[in-house]
Amino acid sequence: MSEQFEAIVLGGGPGGYVCAIRLAQLGVKTVCIEEEEYGGVCLNWGCIPSKALIANAHFFDKAKTIGAHGIEVSQVTVNAPKMQEWKDGIVKKLTGGVRGLLKANGAQIIEGRGRLVDKNTVEVTEKSGGKRRVSASKAIVIATGSSTIQVPGFEFDGKSILGAREAVSLRAIPKRLCVIGGGVIGLELGMVYQSFGAELTVVELTSGLLPGVDPECVKVVERSITKHGGKIFKNTKAERQEKRPDGTVVVHVTSEGKPMTIEADQVLVAVGMKPRSKGIGLEELGVTIDARGFVPTNELCETNVPGIYAIGDVSGQPMLAHKASKEGEVAAEVIAGHAAGKDWLTVPGIIFTHPEIAMAGLTEEQATAQGYSFKVGKFPFSALGRAMSIAETDGFVKVLFDEKTRRILGIHIVGPSASDLISEAVLAVETMVSVEDMSLAIHPHPTLGEALMEAAAAAQGHAIHVVNR
């Protein structure tokens, strides 16, 4: 006998738990099945833990440099185990909060690994090893997320070869850290440990870091890495590694066609995440899985099999928590019979490097490819009083607008609090704000947000605090 529900959500990450909460709010009898811990990658070893460490790295950087502003700090050291306890406390609070929210909204939870046995039924292998079956009369939502991609020859051992999961839990700061992969996760975590004193080397297979990101923004971050002593090797392939008796890992690479070695104490492999779509019964039910392992969906989050939905990382790019959550809400609304769909114009992206990069809407490359005739305006943080007063003047805001409609097409920020400033840009792109609106709206002084207003003015050739060219 199986327990009866109207909806089953498989996976309790930011896609799954949000979907389950919304379903329950809409009166749909729902169960959310999770095999590890509610909150998924995001809360347990992704967004939140990494950002906690990044925030600490900023505090540490500030403490080291604040002497120049007249605040004398005698000794700044890192207590890595204590930092981990602090970070784990945040994770515990948040994952406990998610469980509480699921229950308070009336969604049931089952802890165990789920597998679809038919298009209405999931068999759960509970943590205790016991098996139970649950059925759904309306929908099953696949929200199983993604897992780390491994590089052959660099299998994670939790000691010297690490994935992101291990890298957010280090109880000692490596002296030399080699990061394989110059993408978001590699640079974010690499820069954390660089701040804490590690000699950072980044190995990137392609000709550039952070593919798809505004190249001028990337340059600012690259400069920051090298200014602090980091090395970046592009067009470089990690081939193999060997460990010396003294613990040193020797990474053999081919750089620009030539063999080379990099010595490190620890290696972080950060070459991306892959969808978790296999082994959960989807193939057997005829659910389409594409060549990269994603489960394609339409704008209603439906897969090709009626009644089976997919959301979040498992359903495609961009693999971001806020996209997973929004899809979770859309799927829930659709299942409950409401009008909903994936009709957004932009999914913002943030790279929590130092300085941060944040973007909403089109890059110049995309705008060109889509045939727009557009103009660009830039405003540097070095010209902003507020940025000077917080000693964070690297970077700029860039605004792109369509010359025909005057609509803002994209905003790219590299600099202080880019992660917070981008929300205004998201609203601007999503609600099709004109470049005039953005420059005319009074932005309070002295704030970092003035840079958006000034960049919009610069795009029209009349910024006040920089010389217009």
CB 120 within 8 A of CB 8: no
User: Of residues 357-416, which lie at the interface with ligand FAD (CB under 6 A)?
Assistant: none
Nearest distance from C-beta of residue 404 to ligand FAD, angstroms: 32
Nearest distance from C-beta of residue 148 to ligand FAD, angstroms: 7
Nearest distance from C-beta of residue 10 to ligand FAD, angstroms: 5
In the complex with ligand FAD, the residue whose CB is nearer, 303 or 439, is 303
Nearest distance from C-beta of residue 31 to ligand FAD, angstroms: 11
Q: Calculate ∠ Cα 414-198-349, nearest 5°.
A: 25
User: Of residues 273-292, which lie at the interface with ligand FAD (CB under 6 A)?
Assistant: 276, 280
Note whether 47 binds ligand FAD by CB under 6 A.
yes
Note whether 134 binds ligand FAD by CB under 6 A.
no
User: Which of 57, 143, 203, 458: binder of ligand FAD (CB under 6 A)?
Assistant: 143
User: Which of 23, 28, 60, 145: binder of ligand FAD (CB under 6 A)?
Assistant: 145
Instruction: Dig out the tokens for 379 from the structure.
Output: 């405003």
Q: Calculate ∠ Cα 184-185-187, nearest 5°.
A: 70
Segment contacting ligand FAD by CB under 6 A, of 32-40, 190-198, 208-216, 247-255: 32-40
In the complex with ligand FAD, the residue whose CB is nearer, 177 or 280, is 280
Q: Choosing from 252, 338, 443, 445, which is the catalytic residue?
A: 445
Note whether 10 binds ligand FAD by CB under 6 A.
yes
In the complex with ligand FAD, the residue whose CB is nearer, 276 or 407, is 276
Note whether 417 binds ligand FAD by CB under 6 A.
no
In the complex with ligand FAD, the residue whose CB is nearer, 6 or 36, is 36
Note whether 146 binds ligand FAD by CB under 6 A.
yes
Note whether 7 binds ligand FAD by CB under 6 A.
no
Annotation marks residue 252 as catalytic: no
Nearest distance from C-beta of residue 327 to ligand FAD, angstroms: 8
User: Of residues 298-317, which lie at the interface with ligand FAD (CB under 6 A)?
Assistant: 312-313
User: Of residues 65-84, which lie at the interface with ligand FAD (CB under 6 A)?
Assistant: none
Dihedral angle of Cα 51, 54, 60, 66, to the nearest 10 degrees: -90
User: Which of 5, 7, 8, 12: binder of ligand FAD (CB under 6 A)?
Assistant: 12
Q: What are the backbone dihedrals phi and psi of residue 190, each rounded to the nearest 5 degrees, phi first?
A: -60, -45
User: Which of 87, 113, 326, 398: binder of ligand FAD (CB under 6 A)?
Assistant: 113
The span from the CA of 363 to the CA of 400, in Å, is 8
Size of the site for ligand FAD (CB under 6 A): 35
| Cis peptide upstream of residue 416 (ω within 30 degrees of 0) | no
Nearest distance from C-beta of residue 45 to ligand FAD, angstroms: 6
Note whether 42 binds ligand FAD by CB under 6 A.
yes
User: Of residues 212-271, which lie at the interface with ligand FAD (CB under 6 A)?
Assistant: none
So which residues are the catalytic ones? 445
Residues of the shown chain interacting with ligand FAD in the complex, contacts defined by CB under 6 A: 10-16, 33-36, 40-42, 46-47, 50, 113-114, 143-146, 164, 185, 276, 280, 312-313, 319-322, 324, 352
